[in-house]
Chain A
Amino acid sequence: MNKTQMGFLETGSEMGQLISSTDWSDSSLGSISEWPHSLINTLNICLNSRFPMLIQWGKDFVTFYNDASLKILGAKHPESLGLPSKYVWPEIWHDLGPTLESVYEEGQAVYSEDKFFLYKRYDYLEEGYFTLSHSPIYKGENKVGGVLCTITETTDHVVTERQLKTLHELGEQSMLAKNVQGVCDRIMDVLKENDKDFPFSLLCLVDEDHKRTRCVESVRLPENSPSNPSHIDLLGETSDPEWPIQEVLRSNQAILLKDIKSRFGELSGGAWNQPPNWAYLLPVVCPGSDKACGCLIVGLNPHYPFDDKYRNFLEFAVEEVASAILNARNYEEEKKRAQMLASIDRTKNDFINSISHEFRTPLMLIRNPLEDILSRGKESDKDKNIKIAYRNSLRLQNLVDALLDFSRIEENRIQPNYQLTDLSVYTSELASNFVSVIKQAGIDFEIERTEVSEPVYIDREMWEKIIYNLILNAFKFTFKGYIRVEVQEEEHAVKVLIKDSGVGIPESEQQKIFERFYRVAGTKARSDEGSGIGLPLAKELVEYHKGRIEVESKVGLGSTFTVVIPKGMTHLPENHIQRSEEKSGTADVNMFVEEMKQLVDPEGKHIEEAETAYAEGKPHILVVDDNRDMLNYMCRLLSESFNVSTAYNGRKALEFIELHHPDLILTDIVMPEVDGYELLHHLKTDPETAHIPVVAVSAQAGEKEKIKGFEAGFDSYLVKPFSGRELVALVSSIMATKKTRSEAESFLHELFLNSPTAIAVLHGSDHIFTMANPMFRRILRTPKEDLRGRSIRNTLSDANKEIVVDLLDDVYKHGVPFVGDEFPLTISRSGKKRKAYFNFVAQPIKREKEQVTDIMVQAYEITEQVQARKEIDRFFAISLDILCISDGRRIKKISPSVEKVLGFSQEEMLEQPLQEFIHPEDVELTMQHIEELRKDYPISYFENRFLTKDGSYKWIGWMTSKAKDEGLDYAVGRDITTKKEQEQKKNEFINMASHELKTPMTSLKAFTQLLQRQLKSGGDDKVQHLLSRMNSQIDNLSELIEDLLSVTRLESGKLELNKKEFDICKLVDEVVEDLQATLKAPGKKHQIIVKGVKEKKVYADRYRIKQVLSNFLTNAIKYSPEADKVIVEITEEENSLTVAVQDFGMGIPKKNHNKVFEKFYRIHELERPDDDFSSLGLGLYISAEIIRRHSGRIWAESEEGEGSTFYFSIPDKRQ
Chain B
Amino acid sequence: MKEKKILVVDDNEDILLATSLILESAGYSVETSQKLDPVKKITPSTAPQLILLDMFLNGGNGTEITRKLKSQDSTCQIPIILVSGHGNVEKSAEQCGADAFLYKPFGMDQLLAVVERLIVN
The chain A residue with its CB closest to the CB of B12 is A999
Contact at A1003–B88, with CB atoms within 8 Å? no
> Would you list which residues of chain A between 1018 and 1057 have a CB under 8 Å from chain B?
1034, 1038, 1042, 1045-1046, 1049, 1054-1056
B105 contact from A1034, A1046, A1054, A1103, Cβ within 8 A: A1034
What's the nearest-Cβ distance from chain A to residue B62, in Å?
15
Q: Within 8 Å of chain B (Cβ to Cβ): is A1010?
A: yes
On chain A, the number of residues with a Cβ less than 8 Å from chain B's Cβ atoms is 25
- Report the separation of the CA atoms of residues A995 and B21 in the bound assembly, to the nearest whole angstrom: 23
Q: Does B17 contact A (CB under 8 A)?
A: yes
Q: Is B46 an interface residue (CB 8 A)?
A: no
Shortest beta-carbon distance from A999 to chain B in Å: 5
Query: Is A706 among interface residues, defined by CB-CB distance under 8 A?
Result: no
Interchain CB contact under 8 A, A1006 and B88: no
Interface readout for A365-377 with B: 1 if CB under 8 Å, 0 if not? 0000000000000
Classify the interface of chain B: helix, strand, loop or mixed: helix
User: Is B87 located at the chain interface by the 8 A CB criterion?
Assistant: yes
Per the 8 Å Cβ criterion, residues 64-116 of B in contact with A are 85-88, 90-91, 104-109
Whether B63 is near chain A, meaning CB under 8 Å from some CB there, is: no
* Smallest CB separation, B10 vs chain A (Å): 9
Evaluate whether A1004 and B105 lie within 8 angstroms (CB atoms) in the complex, with A999-B85, A1013-B25, A1058-B91 already known: yes
* B21/A1046 in contact, CB under 8 A: no
Q: How far is the CB of B13 from chain A (nearest CB, A)?
A: 9
Q: Judge whether B19 is part of the interface by a CB distance below 8 angstroms.
A: yes
Nearest-neighbour CB distance to chain A for B114, whole angstroms, equals 14
Query: If the complex has contacts A1009-B107, A1010-B21, A1010-B22, are A1002 and B91 also in contact, measured as CB distance less than 8 A?
Result: no
CA distance A1004 to B14 in the complex (A): 9
Q: Does B15 contact A (CB under 8 A)?
A: yes
Residue of A nearest to B110 (CB): A1074
The contact of A1038 among B21, B90, B105, by CB within 8 Å, is: B105
CB of A998 closer than 8 Å to a CB of B: yes
A1010 touches B85 (CB 8 A): no
A1002 engages B87 (CB within 8 Å): no
Among A1000, A1006, A1055, A1056, contact of B108 (Cβ-Cβ < 8 Å):
A1006
Please state if A1003 and B17 are interface contacts (CB–CB under 8 Å).
Answer: yes
Q: A1003-B17, A1010-B21, A1010-B22 are in contact. Are A1045 and B87 (CB under 8 A)?
A: yes
Whether a CB of chain A sits under 8 angstroms from the CB of B18 is: yes
Give chain A interface residues in 975-1010, CB to chain B under 8 Å: 995, 998-1007, 1009-1010
Q: How far is the CA of A1005 from the CA of B15 in the complex (A)?
A: 10
Contact with A1006, one of B22, B87, B91 (Cβ below 8 angstroms): B22
The reply to whether A1003 and B18 contact each other, CB–CB distance below 8 Å, is yes
| A7 to B104 alpha-carbon distance, docked (Å) | 168
- B25, B87, B106, B107: most-surrounded residue (chain A CB, <10 A): B87
Known: A998-B105, A1049-B87. A1006 touches B19 (CB 8 A): yes
Contact check, B25 vs A1010: say whether CB atoms are below 8 A apart.
Answer: yes
Q: How far is the CB of A1034 from chain B (nearest CB, A)?
A: 7
Q: How far is the CB of B73 from chain A (nearest CB, A)?
A: 28
**Measured between C-beta atoms, what is the minimum distance from B67 to chain A in Å?**
18
> How far does the Cβ of A1031 sit from chain B's closest Cβ, in whole Å?
9
8 Å CB interface, B17-59 against A: 17-19, 21-22, 25
Q: Which residue of the partner chain, among A999, A1013, A1055, contacts B104 with CB atoms under 8 Å?
A: A999
Closest B residue by C-beta to A1003: B14
Contact A1003 B85 (CB under 8 A): no
Indicate if the CB atoms of A1006 and B21 lie closer than 8 Å. Answer: yes
Measured CB to CB, the closest approach of chain A to B19, in angstroms, equals 7
Given the complex of chains A and B, what is the CA–CA distance between A1045 and B104 in angstroms?
Answer: 13
Are A1058 and B21 in contact (CB-based, < 8 A)?
no
Residues of A within 8 A of B106 (CB): 1002, 1005
Interface of A is mostly: helix
Chain B residues with CB below 8 A from A1004, complex form: 105
Can you name the residue of chain B whose Cβ is closest to the Cβ of A995?
B85
Contacts A1003-B12, A1058-B90 hold; do A1010 and B18 have CB atoms under 8 A apart?
Answer: yes
* Chain B residues positioned under 8 Å from A1054 (CB to CB): 88
Q: A residues within 8 A CB of B14? A: 1000, 1003, 1007
Which residues from B are CB-within-8-Å of A1013? 25, 108
The complex places the Cα of A998 from the Cα of B84 at a distance, in Å, of 9
Q: How far is the CA of A1009 from the CA of B111 in the complex (A)?
A: 12
Cα separation A998 to B15 with both chains bound (whole Å): 11
The answer for the CA separation of A1045 and B87 in the assembled complex, in Å, is 8
Distance from A343 Cβ to chain B, minimum over Cβ atoms (Å)? 116
Which B residues touch A995, using CB under 8 A? 85-86
Considering only CB atoms, which chain A residue lies closest to B108 in the complex? Answer: A1009
Contact A1001 B104 (CB under 8 A): yes
A1103 CA to B87 CA in the complex, in Å?
11
Chain A positions 1070-1104 with a Cβ under 8 Å from a chain B Cβ: 1103
Chain A residues contacting B91 (CB-CB under 8 Å) are 1056, 1058
State A1001–B87 Cα separation when bound (angstroms). 15
Q: Is A1006 a contact partner of B104 (Cβ separation < 8 A)? A: no
Among the interface residues B22, B85, B90, which one has the most CB atoms of the partner chain A within 10 A?
A: B85
A824-879 CB contacts (< 8 Å) to partner B: none
Q: Which of A1006, A1034, A1049, A1058 has most B Cβ within 10 Å?
A: A1006
Q: A1000: nearest residue on chain B (CB-CB)? A: B14
**Do residues B85 and A998 form an inter-chain contact, with CB atoms below 8 A?**
yes
Query: Is A1002 a contact partner of B90 (Cβ separation < 8 A)?
Result: no
| Cβ distance A40 to chain B, nearest Cβ, rounded Å | 148
Whether A1005 lies near B85 (C-beta < 8 A) is no
A632-663: which residues lie under 8 A (CB-CB) from chain B?
Answer: none
**Known A1045-B87, A1056-B88, A1058-B91; contact A1010-B108, beta-carbon cutoff 8 A:** yes
Cα of A995 to Cα of B55 in the assembled complex, Å: 13
In the complex, what's the smallest C-beta–C-beta distance from A1146 to chain B, in angstroms?
31
The CA of A1055 and the CA of B87, in the complex, are separated in Å by: 9
Assembly CA distance A1098 to B37 (angstroms) = 42
Given A999-B15, A1007-B18: A1049 touches B88 (CB 8 Å cut-off): yes
Whether the Cβ atoms of A1009 and B22 lie closer than 8 Å is yes
Enumerate chain B interface residues (CB-CB to A < 8 A).
12, 14-15, 17-19, 21-22, 25, 85-88, 90-91, 104-109
25 examples of A-B residue contacts, CB within 8 angstroms = A995-B85, A998-B105, A999-B15, A999-B85, A999-B104, A1000-B14, A1001-B104, A1002-B105, A1003-B14, A1003-B18, A1005-B108, A1006-B105, A1007-B14, A1007-B21, A1010-B21, A1010-B25, A1010-B108, A1034-B105, A1042-B87, A1045-B87, A1049-B87, A1055-B88, A1056-B88, A1058-B90, A1058-B91
**A residues bordering B, Cβ < 8 Å?**
995, 998-1007, 1009-1010, 1013, 1034, 1038, 1042, 1045-1046, 1049, 1054-1056, 1058, 1103
Which 8 interchain pairs have the tightest Cβ spacing?
A: A1006-B18, A998-B85, A1002-B105, A1003-B14, A1009-B108, A1002-B104, A1001-B105, A1005-B105
Can you add 15 more A-B contacts, CB < 8 Å, to A1006-B105, A1009-B109? A998-B85, A1001-B104, A1001-B105, A1002-B85, A1003-B12, A1003-B15, A1005-B107, A1006-B15, A1006-B21, A1009-B107, A1010-B18, A1010-B22, A1034-B105, A1038-B105, A1058-B91
